[in-house]
A = this chain, B = another copy of it.
Amino acid sequence: MTEDQSTLPNIEGLVCAVPLGHSEQIVLGHGSGGQMSHNLIARLFLPSFDNPALRAGDDAGVVIPQPGTKLAISTDSHVVTPLFFPGGDIGKLAVCGTVNDVAMMGATPLYLTAGFILEEGLHVEVLEKVIASMRSAAAEAGVHIVAGDTKVVQKGKADSLYINTSGVGIIEPGIVIGGNQAQPGDIVILSGPIGDHGIAVLAARGELGFTTDIISDVSPLNHLVAAMLKAGKKSVHVLRDPTRGGLATTLNEIARQSQVGIHLNENSIPVQPGVSAACEMLGFDPLYVANEGKLVAIVAKEKAEDVLNAMRISRYGENTVIIGEVKPDPAGRVLMRTAIGSSRIVDMLAGEMLPRIC
């Protein structure tokens, strides 16, 4: 939080660029995870379902069902196309996506639910492969799928199959992690190169026009989070996985929630050459391309080194780097010092770049 917050304009309130009128229709951009999704949530969902857990705007809702029990609860529907892509499939994605959302509250994910919407005519073999993937990802994460549901819709009323996973995790006492906890002086840490998932899925769709060896980074990050919390329990202020909308959107969310300025160094943000090349050809900025096995952490400066070291010796954290720092200003904004030394504002994703990436 900035000290002089009261004197600053409420940037959060000024960014509702796309009004939602009654005659308006839902477009793909409303599912982007970027600004249009945020507007939809702000206009329709929040006013109706308002409660502290939802209002917090984090990856999972934090609740206390009884004294001494603190839970993180999350949900995600998965509509990725194609179902299978280099490095994963919709099943692995569904398990990891929700495990990660729960873990990003500093919670230990314990239980998942799985709700399937199947299109009539789907081959049982496809479903078997997806389920095997879910099983293997759940085993790696150490979570149990404790409830399920299957619906079947007529041919042409779904695209093969959609999976919703919801997750419940437990938060140990003393952990306070949330998008509003970033503080000036904190260090911004990223667990590895960005954009792999988005480019891998695009490649699997045959939309690149060339071949690439990029594979999706889809992974369960809960054990990495556990290692980080062991190294600096109270020093980890924010955790978030930059999925839809990419790193830029995620950091903008945090900057707004905490009303701080996040300052990045372009040179320090790792992007694999294959992702770079694909983005250049397609006119994409890797900052906005989805990840499914990366996290960004905002950590108190004095413990940043310890957390960084713990990450680098953990699975999925080997390529962790520091990418920037938190300052009071410009509150609610993300700034990037470019490779040539100039500075630019990095905005949230406006519309939709890559539909159905997760």
- Chain A residues proximal to chain B, CB less than 8 Å: 20-31, 37, 40-41, 44-45, 48-49, 51, 53-54, 60-61, 63, 65-66, 68-69, 71, 73-79, 110-111, 113-125, 127-128, 131-132, 134-135, 138, 144-154, 156-159, 162, 164, 166, 168, 170, 355-356
Known A122-B25, A152-B31: A113·B146 in contact at CB below 8 Å = no
Contact of A75 among B31, B114, B159 (CB under 8 A): B114
Contact of A26 among B69, B71, B77, B118 (CB under 8 A): B118
* A147 and chain B: residue at smallest CB distance: B61
Residues on B with beta carbons closer than 8 Å to the beta carbon of A37: 150
Contact, CB under 8 Å: B138 / A49: yes
Contact, CB under 8 Å: B53 / A152: no
Contact, CB under 8 Å: A148 / B75: yes
Contact, CB under 8 Å: B120 / A28: yes
Known A65-B110, A111-B63: A48·B117 in contact at CB below 8 Å = no
Contact of A115 among B23, B60, B166 (CB under 8 A): B166
Contact of A61 among B22, B41, B119, B146 (CB under 8 A): B146
Min CB gap A77→B, angstroms = 4
Known A120-B27, A170-B65: A75·B164 in contact at CB below 8 Å = yes
Stoichiometry (number of copies): 2
Contact of A48 among B121, B131, B159 (CB under 8 A): B131
Most buried by B among A44, A156, A170: A44
Residues on B with beta carbons closer than 8 Å to the beta carbon of A41: 148, 150
Contact, CB under 8 Å: B23 / A123: yes
Known A79-B151, A120-B26, A121-B26: A145·B49 in contact at CB below 8 Å = yes
Contact, CB under 8 Å: A152 / B118: no
Contact, CB under 8 Å: A49 / B150: no
Contact of A154 among B28, B51, B63 (CB under 8 A): B28
The CA-CA distance from A58 to B71 in the complex, in Å, is 23
Contact of A148 among B23, B24, B54 (CB under 8 A): B54
* A40 and chain B: residue at smallest CB distance: B150
Contact, CB under 8 Å: A124 / B75: no
Contact, CB under 8 Å: A51 / B151: no
* A58 and chain B: residue at smallest CB distance: B147
Contact of A152 among B27, B116, B119, B151 (CB under 8 A): B27
The CA-CA distance from A118 to B40 in the complex, in Å, is 12
The CA-CA distance from A73 to B156 in the complex, in Å, is 31
Contact, CB under 8 Å: A117 / B49: no
Contact of A166 among B23, B68, B166 (CB under 8 A): B166
* A132 and chain B: residue at smallest CB distance: B48
Contact, CB under 8 Å: A21 / B124: yes
Residues on B with beta carbons closer than 8 Å to the beta carbon of A124: 20-26, 44
Residues on B with beta carbons closer than 8 Å to the beta carbon of A51: 144-146
Known A144-B53, A146-B51, A164-B75: A119·B69 in contact at CB below 8 Å = no
